[in-house]
Amino acid sequence: MFISESSLPLPASSFIRAAGTLTASSPAIAWCQFDQACWQETLHQQWQLPLPATLQGAVLKRKAEFLASRWLVQQQLEQWGIANFLLRNAADRSPIWPPGIQASLSHSHGWVVMAATQAPLCVGIDVEEVMTDKIARETAEMLMSPAEHALLTGLPLPFAQAATLLFSLKESVYKALWPQLHQPMEFHQAVLTALDLHHHQASLRLTHAFSPAFTQQTPLQARFWLQPDRVITLLTHPLPGQ
């Protein structure tokens, strides 16, 4: 999926189909592909990743996403000497990472991605399946400003892929800022200002003042990876006070 990645060892199960990591990048990035049809409840015990009581009655999709995402987190953090870590969620459903770790997690249609760092950074990562052209057209007004629409339609990309990229970038903004703000964000409260397809980089800025550290006009920088059917975005920003 990524350039210069290393494969992660796979468990003795067909549930996790492939996995890899970019440990040399900052933040470190890890990913896995899973097959929800191969999910088995016994895997939770075998991998010491118990299914929470709140998910006992959940649909197969949610159970599979939980197992795959927790497996990936455990594999990545073990490389940093944090063994047998079980990712749990706070009351607001945000992930509770180990002290000194800033990280983000996302899953979509059989894929999980995570980004983690020990540096003082806000981190937000997102993976999205490319939306249909119909959905892209129907949601354009809600998702993008006229200036963003003009920027995206000027790119040598199918509009649906460009719209998915914008959606994913704004999801990464939200995920990166939530641990600092604990405030909901609207799509138009961050705007895409530039996009470099050659270097896979994007620039955004806030259009709303959320806090003294995240004011209107705060610039944000992101990276992205495009595939025909999938988009991954990663946004990092210095932690306030750093």
Other CB atoms within 10 A of residue 178 CB = 17
Average pLDDT, the chain: 94
Position 139 scores a pLDDT of 96
Tell me if domain 6-119 and domain 126-238 are identical in fold: yes
Helices 159-181 and 146-153, axial angle in degrees (round to 10): 130
> Each residue of 89-144: pLDDT tens digit?
888 888 999 999 999 999 999 999 999 999 999 999 999 999 999 999 999 999 99
- Domain 126-238 sits in CATH at 3.90.470.20
At residue 209, the pLDDT reads 97
Query: Could you tell me the two tokens for 103?
Result: 């990280």
pLDDT of residue 157: 97
pTM score, two decimals?
A: 0.95
Predicted local confidence at residue 4, as pLDDT: 55
106 marked as part of a ligand binding site: yes
Average pLDDT over residues 161-169: 98
Does 175 belong to an annotated binding site? Answer: yes
Q: Is 126 annotated as a binding residue?
A: yes
198 is in an annotated binding site: no
Measured CA to CA, the distance from residue 242 to residue 111 in angstroms comes to: 33
- Distance CA(238)–CA(177), nearest Å, equals 11
Q: Flag whether 107 is marked binding.
A: yes
**Main-chain phi, psi angles of 236, to 5 degrees:** -130, 150
**What would the two tokens of residue 56 be?**
């006992």
| Phi, psi (rounded to 5 degrees) for 55 | -110, 5
Selected from 2.60.40, 3.30.230, 3.90.470, 1.10.3470, the CATH number assigned to the domain covering 6-119 reads 3.90.470
CB 221 within 8 A of CB 200: no
The secondary structure of 105-133 as a DSSP string is: EEEETTEEEEEEESSSEEEEEEEEEPPPH
Percent of the chain beyond pLDDT 90? 88
The arithmetic mean of pLDDT across residues 154-168, rounded, is 97
Query: pLDDT at position 30, please?
Result: 95
Structure tokens at 116: 């983690």
Rounded alpha-carbon distances, angstroms, from residue 239 to 56, 79, 102, 118, 121: 36, 24, 10, 12, 5
pLDDT at 39 over 60: yes
DSSP bridge pairs for 111: 33, 108
Of the candidates 196, 217, 222, the one whose C-alpha atom is nearest the C-alpha of residue 206 is 217
Specify the pLDDT at position 2.
67
Domain boundaries, the chain: 6-119, 126-238
Q: Is 128 annotated as a binding residue?
A: yes
| pLDDT, position 69 | 97
182 annotated ligand-binding residue = no
**Which pLDDT score is estimated for 24?**
73
Model pLDDT for residues 60-81, shown as the tens digit of each residue? 999 999 999 999 999 999 989 9
Other Cβ atoms less than 10 A from the Cβ of 185: the count is 18
Assign 197 a pLDDT band (cuts: 50, 70, 90).
very high
Instruction: Centre a 10 Å sphere on the Cβ of residue 44 and count the other Cβ atoms it contains.
Output: 19
User: For residue 13, how many other CB atoms are within 10 A of its CB?
Assistant: 18
